[in-house]
Amino acid sequence: MDLLALMGVVPDAIDPADIDETPLKAERPDVYARRVAADKAAVVGARHPGALVLAADTVVCAGQRILPKAETEAEARACLALLSGRRHRVHSAVTLIDAAGTARHKLSTSIVTFKRLSAQEIDAYIASDEWRGKAGGYAIQGRAAGLIRALSGSHSGVMGLPMFETRALLITAGHLALSGGNQQELPLG
């Protein structure tokens, strides 16, 4: 929501889609991100007909392997150990459904490179609890920023909402002026 506020957009409601986010067999990470964002938007759009609905999904992947949204320390440790010292991709998909029911989609892909992490660095990051519920077991907007050696792409996309793509969707749909935002109803999925 903070990223939307930077564009002058204030949502009237936040309505979690609560969908099954299980990847399909052999589903590519970028396709998965697009599908989940579109599914979230469709579910929320059905509950708010005629509203402007914005939904997003962010996927961290190593090769074609989709990393989980870490819920346990073990998952977070496994993610950080896998990402340590290597590059990985972050796909952040956005879907916007306008008042007429037209869906528009954008995808941002970024490449993130972690430094080689020591056991102590992983322990300290795990102790921060920032990883909980985060794709790939880290939050770039927090302490993990100090562990990232390089980023090519969208910092806001890695955070979970690519601002450039989101702004473009809102402008195309006529719900954001080139100089700022408005107060349109915007349930988020």
Task: Find the domain containing 66 and state its range.
Answer: 2-172
Residue 181 counted as domain residue: no
- Decide: pTM greater than 0.85: yes
Lowest mean pLDDT among 26-40, 81-95, 110-124, 165-179: 165-179
- Look at residue 79 and tell me whether its pLDDT is greater than 70: yes
Task: Pinpoint the alpha helices (H) of the chain.
Answer: 2-6, 29-47, 73-83, 119-128, 155-159, 163-172
In a domain, 180, yes or no: no
Q: Does residue 141 belong to any structural domain of this protein?
A: yes
- Domains held by the chain: number: 1
Task: Tell me whether residue 58 is in a domain.
Answer: yes
pLDDT at position 1, please?
63
Residue 140 lies in a domain: yes
| Among the ranges given (33-42, 75-84, 140-149, 173-182), the one the predictor scored with the smallest mean pLDDT | 173-182
Q: How much is the average pLDDT of 50-70? A: 96
The answer to whether the CB of 10 falls within 8 A of the CB of 187 is no
Q: Is the pLDDT of residue 180 over 90?
A: no
What is the mean pLDDT of the segment spanning 74-88? 98
Q: Is the pLDDT of residue 183 over 60?
A: no
Per-residue pLDDT of 107-154, as tens digits, reads 999 999 999 999 999 999 999 999 999 999 999 999 999 999 999 999
Residue 177 belongs to a domain: no
Of the two residues 8 and 180, the one the predictor is more confident about is: 8
Higher pLDDT, 185 or 112: 112
Residues acting as catalytic residues? 57
Nearest Cα residue to 88 out of 142, 137, 52, 42: 137
CATH code of residue 25: 3.90.950.10
CA 87/CA 51 separation, integer angstroms? 39
**What pLDDT sits at residue 76?**
98
